[in-house]
Amino acid sequence: ITHVVNCAGITTPDFFPEHFVYRTLFINDEPSASIIPHVYDVLEFMEGCRQAGGKVLVHCTQGVSRSCSFCIAYAMLHDKVSYEEAYGEVKAHRGICNPNAGFSSQL
């Protein structure tokens, strides 16, 4: 892992900034929270890492909603697939994937 997307900056600091390149988001896991302002920045960060041969870890507090939402968004845009297809792919790798209703509707 070379890069980290920390979707839980509100509660979880970037513990190892000397070892990883971070993109830190301060988003609550609430249906009223907006992920749209962050999506393209995060996807550009992830794609830049991929093109440089790096590996990205995307995390939040429980790995259920925020981090999965950004992984779904990446799959939708990078692979040009529907929300349902991207969700299925992420869920296959992270069985507890369950974006909150607000995040799902934004995607």
* Residues with a known catalytic role: 60
Q: Is the separation of the CB atoms in 27 and 35 below 8 Å?
A: yes
DSSP 63: S
Q: Which residues pair with 4 in a beta bridge?
A: 22, 57
What's the gap between Cα 60 and its chain centre?
Answer: 8
Distance CA 69, CA 46 (A): 14
**CA–CA dist 85, 73 (Å, integer):** 11
Decide: 3 and 56 in contact? Cβ < 8 Å.
Answer: yes
